[in-house]
A and B are shown apart, each in its own frame.
Chain A
Amino acid sequence: MEEIMARTVSFGVSGVNGFRVNVEVFGIDSMPGLEIIGLPDTSVRESKDRVNAAIINSGREIKPRRITINLAPADMKKEGPSFDLPIAVGFMTVVKALTPDPHIDMDKTAMFGELSLDGSVQPINGALPMVISAKENGMETVILPEKNAREVSCIQGIKILPVHHLKQVIHWLEGKENIPEQEQISFETLKNEAVPVMDMSQIKGQKGARRAVEVAAAGGHNMLMIGVPGSGKTMLARCIPGILPPMSFEESLETTRIHSICGRLPAGSGLMVTRPFCAPHHNASVASLIGGGQDAKPGEVSLAHNGVLFLDELPEFSRGALEALRQPLEDGIVSVARVKRQAQYQSSFMLIAAMNPCPCGYYGSNRRTCRCTPPEIRRYLDRVSGPLLDRIDLQIEVDSVPVNEINDAEPSESSAAVAERVRKAREIQQLRYKGTGKHCNAQLTNTEVGKYCTPDAEGLRLLNMAVDSMHLSMRAYQRILKVARTIADLADEETISSVHIAEAVQYRELDQKYWR
């Protein structure tokens, strides 16, 4: 009896990191059959049928043999169809449908991709962490689906061969055909191709809210907008990714990794260059927001990493979902633990929330009369808990703009102009907090507020007067100082003066009117 053994290298994903998987194929002339072992999930087990059809459709014949396929290490769960390609190659070698060119070092060639029955290679999730891991594991070449190539194109120091059909792989392994290498696309090039997000120039009027959005972006502050329906809260929120400072390469890598493993990257896209904007619907479950499921997948808070998490209709979210936001808001990281898996995902985002002032939406509006009773309004507002509010620095009211003003209004300032001021303010902050691990005002703790946010005498006097006459809480006091620091940074002034404090007080007006 003739025995034969083949080995190909592939990668799987656990959490946000890739890990090496050796695909070992063992064939023996015995009762024909095929078994996949090494903790495969259903999609991996079904791989044998896809692989069979794909090989035949690539014009190769299969000699019946008894085949065992082991995915090593055997103690880690293997998921998804990305092992189709390495299994097919190992399988063909064992059934003698393919003889790899001896010049190719199979131990330094990683491959992954889903196979279609006709032999074409389909894109997979998690290509970016896999390629990063392949590079770290000393691979020289990686063969992957064409549609995943752009996503990993900025990884340097590894040869990336994009393929669209199994035939290409067979011919390349036999040394008959060359696969053109994916060219490096620099991060800068990708940035220039960025799809523009909503521009601030599209917002008419709303100068007060625009200013608040600018302050929030400049200091990385979380923000809550209260306003009647149709006042433009969602539009304002959508503008925020466009005025935040551009993502650095590292930030982009972090965010793209998470999107890659969730399969949220559009086909053929490269590294993410615009900050993510996640707007889960208010019936979102705790698991979908925070992360979870059997395999502890990342949730919306992680998808919004380095970007904006927008929660519209804040009080309509379940209490559990809102309370679960507290850990990621505080730590910028979220631990997802399930029976079979546990993972930690980064989740450092700017929370932008929006809500109506009352269940009917028109409390305080001068255009329509509110029909809610005071207890109804209070119950509605009380759904947003104190500890959550505590983590939202800016709370503003957004008034609706009358139609005639929309038409008359002169063109508003564009996002680019605002972004420039935000960038300068952030630079000042980064310089100030160098070496402390912080990078914006929003991250300051109460003790740090005392250290970095001391107003001048006049400012302090004004703040104390405001706290007295407007019945502001101690919590509000700290927030005002933080926001005043950002306002001063925007004005490029080192000392916080009374003007800055006075403006910051306006961003706490809801404390007085709604949550007394």
Chain B
Amino acid sequence: MSRSLTDSRYDCWLASACMPSGMVRKLLLEFGSPEGCYLALQKHEEAVSQIITPRFYRMLSESGREEILQKYGKKLEQHSIRSILYTDPLYPESLKDLSDSPPVLFYQGNLECSGGRALCMVGSRAASYSGQKAARKLAADLGTQGVTIISGMASGIDAAAHQGCMEGKSPTVAVLGCGLDKPYPADNIPLRDEILKNDGLILSEYAPGEKAAGWHFPVRNRIIVGLSRALILMEARIRSGSMTSVNHALEQGKDVFVYPGDPASENFEGNHQLLREGGIYFTSARDILEDMHWLDNPPAVRHNSDCAQEQITRTPEEEKVIKALKPGSLSFEQLLIHTELSPSVLMSTLTILQIRGVIEAMPGKQYKIKQ
């Protein structure tokens, strides 16, 4: 049973001190509920100060006032945020196994979507164009197979993962490192709304009003990993936040799938290091599904429109361009050399192929065959 608004206010109060989860759990065992803790603190019961350190005692008593509770109540109501305790039967099963699972979780949306086939996808915020494209496509392919993608709603890979999953008509879960009333980064508020509209879930262990702090994110990553059955690393440098997620996955005994990005790019150096150290190599959603033993219901043969397009006769110019792009992406100038077409003819040919969905244009005047 999810908690009532009145109860949730006490949850906010308890979570606002950001105490270690062990301490919170002890409090809850002792006093039964956050409300119990609140009343005990108001009465200055000895037991409270035995469990928590003086610093947290001070923080909790300072914020333990009726008007602050009311403020929380307003925020919860305004953003339709609800909370759940770790003792609740609805509390995500997968998180219960964590040694430091968050005692209180705040959420918006559909809590039930976090169960089942869930994978997390992590990667750089300043991801390359190709990395983002790949993440989006992979998430979409997994989504169509009923996999829920879990990520952190940051820009770059995270955003691409959420978007892709929704394109695959599967709900997606975002775990934030700040209060749900003010998602960080603010740029992704439209993305949050979209996630909620698509029956997804937004989670956080931080009380509403809690601002994003640098140390929240590595801690938050344990929840992302905890909720998932395995981790997919899309694009990471060696020293990066994504690598903390990988460490969480290893600690929690979960598989790590590593996308083999461009070895020449610094952006993928973390990927390649992990692959050398035994990360699981994959190239498509099918590889992952197979390794996860989720291929029980083999995907139906997709009737994509490509079959129909094959019948369209291509002009010699179009053939030339397609042939030149077969080995990989090329820039406009390189295409001119390979195809020996005039600039204006090449431009019109490229447009026609783009419209037909045969090739795509990338930043930097690069073209490649669409997969």
Interface residues of A (CB under 8 A from B): 205-208, 210-211, 228, 357, 363-366, 369-375, 378, 397-399, 401, 405, 462, 465-466, 469-470, 487, 498-503, 505-506, 509, 512-514
Contact B333 A207, beta carbon cutoff 8 Å? yes
B96 at the interface (CB under 8 A from A): no
B306 at the interface (CB under 8 A from A): no
Contact B333 A405, beta carbon cutoff 8 Å? yes
Contact B336 A208, beta carbon cutoff 8 Å? yes
- Nearest A-chain residue to B265, judged by Cβ: A369
- For residue A205, which residues in chain B have a CB less than 8 angstroms away from its CB? 333
Listed stretches B41-49, B288-296, B352-360; interface member:
B352-360
Contact A375 B187, beta carbon cutoff 8 Å? yes
Contact A503 B363, beta carbon cutoff 8 Å? no
Flag B333-363 by CB within 8 Å of A: 1 or 0 each.
1001000000111111111101101000111
CA separation between A255 and B185, bound complex, in Å? 51
- For residue B326, which residues in chain A have a CB less than 8 angstroms away from its CB? none
B331 at the interface (CB under 8 A from A): yes
> Shortest beta-carbon distance, B90 to chain A, in Å?
35
Flag B123-151 by CB within 8 Å of A: 1 or 0 each.
00110110000000000000000000000
CA separation between A363 and B130, bound complex, in Å? 12
B266 at the interface (CB under 8 A from A): yes
Contact A208 B365, beta carbon cutoff 8 Å? yes
- For residue A374, which residues in chain B have a CB less than 8 angstroms away from its CB? 125-126, 155-156
A-B CB contact pairs (8 Å), 16 listed: A206-B333, A207-B336, A208-B343, A208-B347, A364-B362, A364-B366, A369-B265, A372-B126, A397-B363, A462-B351, A462-B355, A470-B354, A498-B348, A500-B348, A503-B348, A506-B350
Number of A-B residue pairs, CB cutoff 8 Å, is 100
* Interface footprint category on B: 20 to 34
Beta-carbon contacts under 8 Å, B80-108 to A: none
Given A357-B363, A509-B361, A513-B362, 13 other A-B residues pairs in contact with their CB atoms under 8 A: A208-B347, A211-B344, A364-B129, A369-B128, A370-B126, A375-B187, A399-B333, A405-B333, A462-B351, A466-B351, A499-B345, A505-B351, A506-B348
Which 8 residue pairs across A and B have the least CB separation, nearest first? Answer: A364-B363, A364-B364, A502-B348, A502-B351, A211-B343, A506-B347, A397-B365, A399-B365
Flag B176-209 by CB within 8 Å of A: 1 or 0 each.
0000000001010000000000000000000000
Contact B155 A506, beta carbon cutoff 8 Å? no
> Shortest beta-carbon distance, A358 to chain B, in Å?
9
- For residue A499, which residues in chain B have a CB less than 8 angstroms away from its CB? 344-345, 348
Contact A502 B364, beta carbon cutoff 8 Å? no
- For residue B366, which residues in chain A have a CB less than 8 angstroms away from its CB? 364, 366
Contact B126 A506, beta carbon cutoff 8 Å? no
> Shortest beta-carbon distance, A233 to chain B, in Å?
13
- For residue A509, which residues in chain B have a CB less than 8 angstroms away from its CB? 361
Contact A373-B125, Cβ < 8 Å, known A207-B333, A366-B366, A503-B347: yes
- For residue A369, which residues in chain B have a CB less than 8 angstroms away from its CB? 128, 265-267
- Nearest A-chain residue to B262, judged by Cβ: A366
- For residue A466, which residues in chain B have a CB less than 8 angstroms away from its CB? 351, 355
CA separation between A401 and B331, bound complex, in Å? 10
CA separation between A170 and B59, bound complex, in Å? 96
B332 at the interface (CB under 8 A from A): yes
- For residue B125, which residues in chain A have a CB less than 8 angstroms away from its CB? 373-374
Contact B361 A207, beta carbon cutoff 8 Å? no
Contact A487 B363, beta carbon cutoff 8 Å? no
Contact A375 B185, beta carbon cutoff 8 Å? yes
Contact A366 B364, beta carbon cutoff 8 Å? yes
Contact B155 A210, beta carbon cutoff 8 Å? no
CA separation between A372 and B155, bound complex, in Å? 12
CA separation between A451 and B129, bound complex, in Å? 41
- For residue A208, which residues in chain B have a CB less than 8 angstroms away from its CB? 332-333, 336, 343, 346-347, 365
Contact A371-B361, Cβ < 8 Å, known A207-B343, A208-B336, A506-B351: no
- Nearest A-chain residue to B363, judged by Cβ: A364
CA separation between A211 and B345, bound complex, in Å? 11
CA separation between A43 and B361, bound complex, in Å? 61
Contact A503-B344, Cβ < 8 Å, known A366-B366, A509-B361: yes
CA separation between A498 and B345, bound complex, in Å? 11
Contact B266 A397, beta carbon cutoff 8 Å? no
Which of B336, B348, B363, B364: most chain A Cβ within 10 A?
Answer: B364
- Nearest A-chain residue to B349, judged by Cβ: A502
CA separation between A102 and B266, bound complex, in Å? 88
> Shortest beta-carbon distance, B219 to chain A, in Å?
22
> Shortest beta-carbon distance, A228 to chain B, in Å?
7
The residue that B351 contacts in the complex, of A206, A364, A503, A514, with Cβ under 8 A, is A503
CA separation between A136 and B363, bound complex, in Å? 58
Contact A502 B352, beta carbon cutoff 8 Å? yes
- Nearest B-chain residue to A207, judged by Cβ: B343
- Nearest A-chain residue to B124, judged by Cβ: A373
> Shortest beta-carbon distance, A214 to chain B, in Å?
9
- Nearest A-chain residue to B364, judged by Cβ: A364
